[in-house]
């Protein structure tokens, strides 16, 4: 078994001038090349229409991994706990060789869009064309699929932030990280505390545990 657990996080500013505000977390976990066989096919084929379809499938795979832990209203500098055992953002029967994790914190007073709506916002003709071109340029990279997954994950994050801006919501935190078994959990466990995010507004405690 394998678990990626969110244990605790601290949000320094809740994005509100006074009092408490509603914060929604979104977690996306994918397994590197194991989750994206369509990207291997992308780099093999020269068919333009097939490339667009394969990129669409890859974006859908990222979005389908979304889980949304429920948290209470928060104030500035609040530490948020997830029980005695943490919140499992990812569980697998086997220990993966690599994982990618994106954790977003959004100030939101409304229900966030479902996966189908999110996909419709991302998979526009313009975005697909841009992705096909961008990912195509990664073919000479040492790990083209890994680089492509990073590109896709960034696009998903940017699309969510665009939706938030349109609805007057606000990003409070963004953690983007990747792990490999050999480097980060060779013996099946990794505990990390106070990991800073990309915004400087959030710190995260998490545990990787596999056996």
- Which residues make Cβ contacts (< 8 Å) with residue 98, sequence separation at least 6? 31, 32, 33, 34, 146, 178, 179, 180, 181
Q: Extract the residue ranges of the chain whose pLDDT is less than 70.
A: 109-112
Cα angle 169-195-96, degrees, rounded to a multiple of 5: 95
Please tell me the predicted confidence (pLDDT) of residue 198. Answer: 96
Query: Would you give the DSSP letter of residue 111?
Result: P
- Count CB atoms within 10 A of the CB of residue 160: 25
Angle (CA) 98-30-46 rounded to 5° is 95
Q: Domain of 38?
A: 2-210
Please give the pLDDT value at position 111: 67
- Cα 71–76–82 angle (5° rounding)? 30
Of 158, 157, 33, the residue nearest 102 (C-alpha): 157
pTM reported for the whole predicted model: 0.90
Count structural domains, the chain.
1
Torsion, CA 144, CA 145, CA 150, CA 155, rounded to 10: 100
What pLDDT does 12 receive?
A: 96
């Amino acid at each position: 078994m394998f678990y990626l657990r969110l244990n605790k996080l601290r949000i320094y500013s809740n994005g509100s001038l006074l009092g408490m505000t509603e914060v929604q977390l979104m977690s996306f976990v994918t397994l590197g090349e194991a989750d994206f066989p369509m990207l291997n096919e992308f780099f093999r084929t020269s068919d333009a229409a097939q490339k667009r379809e394969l990129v669409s499938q890859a974006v859908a795979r990222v979005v389908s991994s979304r889980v949304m832990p429920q948290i209470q209203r928060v104030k500035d500098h609040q530490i948020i706990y997830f029980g005695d055992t943490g919140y499992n953002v990812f569980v697998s029967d086997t220990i993966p060789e690599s994982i990618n994790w994106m954790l977003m914190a959004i100030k939101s007073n409304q229900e966030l869009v479902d996966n189908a709506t999110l996909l419709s916002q991302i998979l526009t003709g313009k975005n697909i064309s841009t992705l096909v071109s961008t990912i195509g340029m990664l073919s000479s990279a040492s790990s083209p699929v890994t680089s492509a997954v990073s590109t896709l994950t960034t696009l998903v994050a940017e699309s969510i932030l665009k939706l938030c801006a349109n609805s007057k919501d606000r990003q409070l935190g963004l953690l983007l990280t990747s792990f490999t078994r050999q480097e980060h959990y060779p013996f099946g466990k990794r505990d990390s505390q106070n990991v800073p995010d990309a915004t400087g507004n959030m710190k995260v405690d998490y545990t990787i545990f596999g056996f």
